Amino acid sequence: MENHKFYGIDFTSRPSAKKSLTCAIASFDGVTLTLDQLVRWSDFEAFEEALLRPGPWVMGIDFPFAQSRKFVENIGWPSEWSQYVALVGTMTRTEFRAVFETYKAARAWGDKQHKRVCDTRTRAQSPQTLHYTPVGLMFFEGAPRLLKSGVYLPYHHTAINDRVVVEAYPGALARSMIGRTRYKTDDRRAQTACLYDARVDILAQLAERSRAAFGFDTSAPLSLADDPSGDELDAWLCAIQAAWAANQSDGKFGAPIELDTVEGWIADPSLVNNKE
């Protein structure tokens, strides 16, 4: 994937000047993935425009592209990804919330929100989650936009073009280096030196371990650690995951052997052939 551009996007369900979409733009020379630029988008329009940029490029985005098979079957949605995402695209935000809340209300405690296989393996939240970190709303805002843009989504949506998007999850990559240590927060009162040190640790380990972990070196400034929200660092981690997926020799973009195309997967080395 030499001479390709790679993008990593830290996503939010309500972009604004205060909490923007953060995009890392990187280049690859066949040996080193280099962070060239960081940009912030305060609305979805800029994101939609980025999806339409001419390729070749590969983009990793931090939100769940799909729902669990259990939820899709129980709710009666079509089993084809593009069909159920198109259905979601016809809903208002209020209608979408109502569908999810009604589903949960009728189910027993402990069986209200379901995880995909990749969520369990990476300790990610259920894509039905609407509160705290509302990844369900990220799915609502993001997945229909991916479908509408016509990008190639491996195993979800085939398209004849060189604009490729994979699901990323920077938390999985961060935990492979620092375990459960926290490294970010949007709460200004909790933005401590310890969290800064954890971000520095992640960047230091990337500099040392990237070749062994991903098959290429990575280069980014230490100033990424200065963002206490972690959005800039997360965007960079998403770009790394996108580059790793694109450079898999089997052409499967890092998908595990046993893949449910209803649910999809997260582009991270930890999921390859991982059945735990």
Local confidence band at 2 (pLDDT 50, 70, 90 cut-offs): low
Cα dist. 19→2, 22, 57, 62, 130 in Å? 33, 9, 25, 15, 17
DSSP notation for 205-244: HHHHHHHHHHSSEEE--GGGGG-TT-HHHHHHHHHHHHHH
Local confidence band at 18 (pLDDT 50, 70, 90 cut-offs): very high
Cis peptide before 64 (omega within 30 of 0): no
Q: What is the mean pLDDT of residues 193-218?
A: 96
Query: Is-contact 220 35, C-beta < 8 A?
Result: yes
Local confidence band at 60 (pLDDT 50, 70, 90 cut-offs): very high
Local confidence band at 276 (pLDDT 50, 70, 90 cut-offs): very low
Parent domain of 75? 1-276
Least Cα distance to 172 among 77, 268, 90 occurs for 268
Q: What is the mean pLDDT of residues 98-118?
A: 95
Structure tokens given for 50 = 């980025």
Q: What is the mean pLDDT of residues 75-83?
A: 95
As a whole number of angstroms, the distance between CA 17 and CA 156 comes to 32
- pLDDT of 150-180, one tens digit each? 999 998 988 888 999 999 999 999 999 999 9
Q: How many domains does the chain have?
A: 1
Cα dist. 119→25, 40, 67, 83, 158 in Å? 26, 27, 10, 22, 23
CB proximity list for 187: less than 8 A, separation 6 or greater:
none
User: Which pLDDT score, from 0 to 100, does residue 94 have?
Assistant: 98
CB proximity list for 150: less than 8 A, separation 6 or greater:
159, 161, 163
Sign of the torsion angle spanned by Cα atoms 103, 260, 124, 38: negative
As a whole number of angstroms, the distance between CA 188 and CA 209 comes to 31
Q: pTM for this one?
A: 0.95
Local confidence band at 3 (pLDDT 50, 70, 90 cut-offs): low
**8-state DSSP, 161:** S
3-state secondary structure of 36: strand
As a whole number of angstroms, the distance between CA 70 and CA 253 comes to 25
Local confidence band at 239 (pLDDT 50, 70, 90 cut-offs): very high
User: Which pLDDT score, from 0 to 100, does residue 273 have?
Assistant: 54
Percent of the chain with pLDDT over 70: 97
Query: Is-contact 76 67, C-beta < 8 A?
Result: no
Query: Is-contact 242 57, C-beta < 8 A?
Result: no
